[in-house]
Structure 1
Amino acid sequence: MDNGTEADYRPESVSGYRLYHGYISLVICLSGIVLNIFNAFIWSRKRMKSSTNLILMALSITDCVSLFLYLVYSSYLFIATGPSQLLYHSETCMYVVVITFHEFIGFHTTSNWLTICLAIFRYIKVCHPNSGKLWCNRKRAELAIVLVFVMTTIATIPFYFYYEVYNVSEDYPNITGYWIRKTKFARNNVDYQTILLWLYGVIFKVCPSIAMVVLSALMALKLHRAQKRQKVFRVGPESHVTNLRGYNHTTIMLIAIVMIYVILEIPIGISAFTSGLNGEESHYFYFLLYSEVGDILDLLPLLNASFNFAVYFALSDQFRSVFRLLIMRKATIEIPHGSETIEMSGSTKVYTVPVIWNSVRQTLHL
């Protein structure tokens, strides 16, 4: 990636993909917000209480918030106006752009590390089941969520010293309005820019990806060995076979979530990492904010934040059952207890949807 300063960017009109980015991100964000609301509501049900589901609920909430923040950013910059200095931008609106973009990075980073917590909890449960009973409980899940939120908040604070809003007429007397540029501190401290690139690329993206790939590989190996022993369970009680099947499905679901994260996040991490290798002044974050390629890269975390519903629905029997209860008024749905390893036990029960639906409506005040 070519390094330089904001002075290399001359005012240009909006063209090419940038004309459509706002509408594409609008569809993705709105869809993702709705789906993550469903996710959070389903994982928070009393029947779904477990340490794993608590982290999944927190993940859904942070994904929802990050999508909303990007929706505000893109709706103003790409639909209401345009990402060009030739267009008038008020000082307030440019502060909104900078704050929402940085908060989007912050909440998305929180989602990333919650995904790591999810992988760690599942790894302990799968590969060290005895330790899992002691360590992977709801209290420790709550502690992990709080620690992730606090640590990512602290880690993203340095990004706020990178840019400032300024009057465009300082550089171009014939243009009115406001834009952003690096702060004087950032311009005078190249090492600070390099540290941010490494923090963003390595700590926020590459290291989590490597850690999750390793954990997923270990879980997949354990799962493969368990499947080889499944014939032993088949000769035992049916409940044992059902529990093993649900145990495997939950592990596969979490591995799928992790792999989607790695595939969609690693390109941004590598690009930030390579940009920081030069140790020179960088315009990488300006590149993410105000370039066509940067806009396309932005779609990757948006898709990552929106895909989980499809994974849950495809691989979780209980998630599908509860979701059907929410959207259907007249049906009888069988929910197999123990069909997933979500710390649930008991025999199969049948619930009539109208009764559950009335309870849901009262909860939502519909």
Structure 2
Amino acid sequence: MVYSNETMGYSPYCGDMVVNLRYTYEQYHGYASLLVCAFGSVANILNIAVLTRKEMVSPTNAILTGLAVADLLVMVEYVPFAYHMYLRPDNYPRSDRFSYNWSLFVLLHSGFSQAFHTISIWLTVTLAVWRYVAVVHPQINRIWCRMETTLSTIALGYLICPLICIPSYLTFNLISRVELLDAVGNRPSANRSDVVGPLRNVTLYFVNVSDLAATTCLSDIVFWVYSVVIKIIPCIALTVLSLRLICALLEAKQRRAKLTASSRKSADKERQTDRTTRMLLAVLFLFLITEFPQGILGLLTLLLGKKFFQDCYQNMGDVMDMLALVNSAINFILYCVMSRQFRNTFSLLFLPAWIPKSNAQGISLGNPTTTQVTQV
């Protein structure tokens, strides 16, 4: 269905195509997000189960476990939100749709998802830094990136990130409004031909911009924190680190070409370390693809003002949510495709006993200083 300018309002910044996309995709977002969340929740539970096995313990895998926990919580919490906002029938009573409990949940959803998504960003940046140190400065890796330091960094992320998001929590609150509804909780039409039972005054609750945000520069602070501190700066850092890692991979390839047959063991060690780096680079690139656009949109909102927010940012909200959910769900596939040790450990844990298990050698998902070869 194509929506006209009269029904939706003209969008000077992004054009009608973006508006049409929003209203078309909105019809499917609820079902699509539930499918992604269902798959992603199971996938992250499997990630946690595999990565916490004794033979898989390493600083890098500890970071990946913390990342899986944050992603899991984001997706589990998104399920009731998607049901309430997108999947309930149009005739669902207005008194229930805007009840205090559901409106409070929507308000809490905003803060919860923001906090744990920020934790995911923190851990992704940590993962990039850890891998960069391991590949480019292996001589100091054992000191800087040991397990104790890694666990402290993960715990710090879970503590600091919710605090960074405090301005966002203060931007919205609940407001109440009394409306005249019929006996089943619906608002009557103008001619009241569809009224069921006697009319009554009902207090409804809505998520709205707080007085603090409306009367101060808090909303600008929130967009600066969200777009620059949480999104753009980490994306720039990841881009730089990823490029350095790619250069390190190319240098390692050149070194291997110069190694003689007597140095075959060293060549194999570098090759397996490179595989781990490639897999982690894939994780980083997926993050950049999903996060950079959100940061740019937030920054443009700061520069261009409220009109851009209404025309572009809001119309892209569901698409950005889906990109973030896909990013949170897809790491399991990357691990299975790119890490033999992850596949072998997964098969030992979850495949039935009558299915033959592979005896191939597998590389560690992330021992950053040595190549961990495991016979399974």
TM-score by length of 2: 0.81
**Where does residue 345 of structure 2 map in the other structure?**
322
Change (3 A) 1:261 1:183: same
> How many aligned residue pairs are there?
336
What is the deviation of 1:217?
0.4
Alpha-carbon distance in structure 2 between the residues aligned to 1:83 and 1:263: 38
Residue 34 of structure 2 aligns to which amino acid in structure 1? L
For the aligned residue pairs, the C-alpha RMSD in angstroms reads 3.1
**Where does residue 80 of structure 1 map in the other structure?**
88
Q: Which moved more, 1:152-161 or 1:333-342?
A: 333-342
Determine which structure has more spread, i.e. the larger CA radius of gyration.
2
Contact 1:114 1:148 in 2 (8 A): yes
Contact 1:70 1:101 in 2 (8 A): no
Residue 101 of structure 1 aligns to which amino acid in structure 2? S
**Where does residue 333 of structure 1 map in the other structure?**
358
**Where does residue 247 of structure 1 map in the other structure?**
273
CA-to-partner distance for each residue in 1:313-352, whole Å, 9 max, x for gaps?
1111111111222232231321526566526667763x4x
What is the deviation of 1:303?
0.9
Structure 2 spans left out of the alignment, 5+ residues: 1-9, 13-21, 182-186, 189-201
Q: Choose from 272, 283, 299 the match for 2:322.
A: 299
Change (3 A) 1:171 1:201: farther
Alpha-carbon distance in structure 1 between the residues aligned to 2:311 and 2:161: 21
1:126 to 2:152 alignment: no
Q: Which moved more, 1:136-145 or 1:175-184?
A: 175-184
Q: Which moved more, 1:340-349 or 1:244-253?
A: 340-349
Q: Percent identity?
A: 28
CA-to-partner distance for each residue in 1:200-242, whole Å, 9 max, x for gaps?
0111111111100100100110110001111344613554333
**Secondary structure, in 3 states, of the residue corresponding to 1:29?**
helix
Structure 1 spans left out of the alignment, 5+ residues: 4-13, 352-366
Contact 2:290 2:323 in 1 (8 A): yes
CA-to-partner distance for each residue in 1:113-136, whole Å, 9 max, x for gaps?
100000000000000000112111
Alpha-carbon distance in structure 1 between the residues aligned to 2:161 and 2:151: 16
**Secondary structure, in 3 states, of the residue corresponding to 2:112?**
helix
Contact 2:106 2:207 in 1 (8 A): no
Contact 1:73 1:101 in 2 (8 A): no
Change (3 A) 1:314 1:83: farther
Residue 333 of structure 1 aligns to which amino acid in structure 2? S
Q: Choose from 37, 56, 64 the match for 1:29.
A: 37
**Where does residue 50 of structure 1 map in the other structure?**
58
**Where does residue 204 of structure 1 map in the other structure?**
230
**Where does residue 159 of structure 2 map in the other structure?**
150
**Where does residue 309 of structure 1 map in the other structure?**
332
Alpha-carbon distance in structure 2 between the residues aligned to 1:247 and 1:56: 17
1:162 to 2:171 alignment: yes
Alpha-carbon distance in structure 2 between the residues aligned to 1:85 and 1:156: 33
1:108 to 2:133 alignment: no
Alpha-carbon distance in structure 2 between the residues aligned to 1:137 and 1:116: 17
Contact 2:364 2:373 in 1 (8 A): no
